[in-house]
Amino acid sequence: MMCGIVGWLNYDRSLVEEKQELEAMTSTILHRGPDATNHWLDEDIGFGHTRLTVVDPAGGAQPMTVMAGDSNYTIVYNGELYNTEEIRQTLYAQGFRFQSYSDTEVVLHAFICWGERAPERLNGIFSFAVWDEKKKQLTLVRDRLGVKPLFYAESGNNFFFASELKAILANRLMDPVIGEEGLHELFALAPSRTPGHGVFKGIHELRPAHLMTITPEKKTISRYWQLESLPHTSPFAQTKNTLHELLVDTVERQLVSDVPLGTFLSGGVDSSILTAIAAKKLKKYENVTLPTFSVDYEENAAHFSSDAFTPAEDTAFIEAMSNRYKTNHTVHTIEQEKLADLLGEAVEARDLPGMADIDSSLLWFSRKMKEDVTVALSGECADEIFGGYPWFHRQELVDRPLFPWMSSLDTRESLLHQDLAGKLDLEAYVKARMQETLDETPLLDGESSEDRQRRQLFYLNIIWFMTTLLDRKDRMSMKASLEVRVPFADHRLVEYVWNVPWDMKQFGGQEKGLLRKAMASHLPTKVQKRKKSPYPKTHHPKYSELIGTMTEEILKNKNEPIHDLMDEKALEQLSRTRGFEVKEPFFGQLMTGPQLLAFIWQVNHWLKTYSVSVKL
């Protein structure tokens, strides 16, 4: 079940009287779980939970407490487990008994049985907290690839955790402050974030694949999963067959739902593969027609022009897939005004400036999908694990000294207020953060320097770019109370593909060639051969005018907080030209000039709406 979780721990005083404060924290994330809200308080600790019901409406209520041995164990859980029945049967054989068929109860019993080794057995997307009453121990766990969020903070003797930053900031003991590190995160790296960092002072993120335990004596953080680099000895034909079996099994596992389910369908290879497998399975075993959904933009076709990052529109490829599998397809078309109007709400969904209109369109699209389905499958993560992005294939991008999806450091520096320019070193900060990730890359002894560089590139993408897109998908979809599952993030699939050689991954000289070949029987030829194309964005000049006008308005008002952080003349020039002098993407493949302007507007909205104070 996709939910929102909140917790407050203090060993030095009773929290029983803090129910109202805990309720206030929990209420900020009602969108993550509009179906039910519950709270639980003990002397040292309190949990809050908001529930989006997907499986077992009657039996999955949380927080959930189970008595085992001589202790009570209480859990708050946000996620979806895809090997629920296998674990249930294993636990049943060891004497455990169940009162529901929810995965929450399975996760709790798994933790009681295996303790800190339990996450290693879970196949799914999750973040959860378990309180062991006897030991007075709190354990926090996050899934391997960071599909589900989990933040934490300390203030004096108080420890807080939550699915979203806003829930922590809602506590009276926490203030929305950013320091030098937060400014570096904002101006050097956004919309990405350093793994483990929460931007606001005192707030951190539990990294993917990590586990935290807290007792009265100490706090420890450990990693329970890491990619392992091993020689790949299987020939291409066997690799292709293994990949096919893994992917079909992964998607079929993720179709379990007691509520309506559909797929995002862009007509790209990734979403088309998920759609094909899901449509076949649902039709064959349940005689259900799969609902599919795509997003378009007002008058986009009239203004679209092909480039290296966006080679073709989606429409013809979507139609080919929908016609082949007889899906119930819906195209939702967003107007330019709505795209601009939702920029602020997209910030509030993410609690940080994000991917501008790429975020706001997804928020709107998710709300439209929620009118018909509660669960959806989406194709994120395939490009990171198979090497689908241009920076895997264009040597000038591979050789960039910084992150290959970010060529904008000069632009970023030029936008800084002169008072900050001398205090912040954006390039040094980016280099240091990137080097931390390069240093932890699991390498393979004996690899050539070229293979080593490429393995590091894959690792950078998984740790940084992929988590940025997963953050975006979680916040925008959950703001709409839509559960999104990402089959390409199945850890078994990621582990297997990690060690497949590059010449196999790009079979036939095409990006994701192995994936295309393995799944060829599921795809129309035109879709199988389609060049990589990202999530669609608007190309309408009307949007640029709208966002240009919005930016001009905040520049005219000298009380707007953006004036304290960014250079006024640089902003005026960017606004006057509507950002069109920015030719290369500011971030990734989509964020060119208009998106940079929208990002700047979002920074100002964030500073103002969250009453952010800067303390250097």
d(CA 115, CA 73): 11
pLDDT of residue 540: 87
What residues contact residue 161 under an 8 Å CB cut-off, 6+ apart?
5, 6, 7, 129, 140, 150, 151, 152, 153, 168, 206
> What domains are defined for the chain?
2-223 (3.60.20.10), 236-528 (3.40.50.620), 541-614 (no CATH)
For residue 528, give both structure tokens. Answer: 């199988």
Helix or strand (DSSP H, E) at 65: strand 64-68
pLDDT of residue 145: 98
d(CA 496, CA 249): 14
For residue 513, give both structure tokens. Answer: 């060639």
Q: Which of helix, strand or coil describes residue 94?
A: coil
**Largest Cα span, the chain:** 70
Per-residue model confidence as pLDDT tens digits over 436-464? 999 999 999 999 999 999 999 999 999 99
Residue 585 has pLDDT above 90, yes or no: no
Q: What is the rounded average pLDDT of the residues 242-258?
A: 96
Based on C-alpha coordinates, what's the Rg of the chain?
24
d(CA 162, CA 29): 9
Whether 128 and 76 have beta carbons less than 8 Å apart is answered as yes
Per-residue model confidence as pLDDT tens digits over 324-366? 999 999 999 999 999 999 999 999 999 999 999 999 999 999 9
For residue 212, give both structure tokens. Answer: 């935290």
d(CA 33, CA 47): 15
What residues contact residue 528 under an 8 Å CB cut-off, 6+ apart?
269, 516, 519, 520
- Which residues on neighbouring strands pair with residue 329, listed in sequence order? 292
CA distances from 172 to 101, 155, 162, 474 (A): 38, 10, 15, 26
Per-residue model confidence as pLDDT tens digits over 126-144? 999 999 999 999 999 999 9
Burial of 39 (0-12, 13-18, 19+ CB in 10 A): middle
- Residues taking part in catalysis: 3
For residue 384, give both structure tokens. Answer: 């990171």
Helix or strand (DSSP H, E) at 455: helix 449-460
What residues contact residue 427 under an 8 Å CB cut-off, 6+ apart?
188, 402, 409, 413
Least-confidence region, from 136-140, 222-226, 248-252, 296-300: 296-300
Per-residue model confidence as pLDDT tens digits over 177-200? 999 999 999 999 999 999 999 999
Per-residue model confidence as pLDDT tens digits over 45-69? 999 999 987 876 766 789 999 999 8
Whether 296 and 332 have beta carbons less than 8 Å apart is answered as yes
User: How wide is the angle at C-alpha 428 spanned by C-alphas 424 and 429, nearest 5°?
Assistant: 70
Burial of 225 (0-12, 13-18, 19+ CB in 10 A): middle
Helix, strand and coil in the chain, % to nearest 5? 45, 20, 35
User: How wide is the angle at C-alpha 265 spanned by C-alphas 320 and 276, nearest 5°?
Assistant: 65
d(CA 365, CA 501): 37
Q: Which of helix, strand or coil describes residue 221?
A: strand
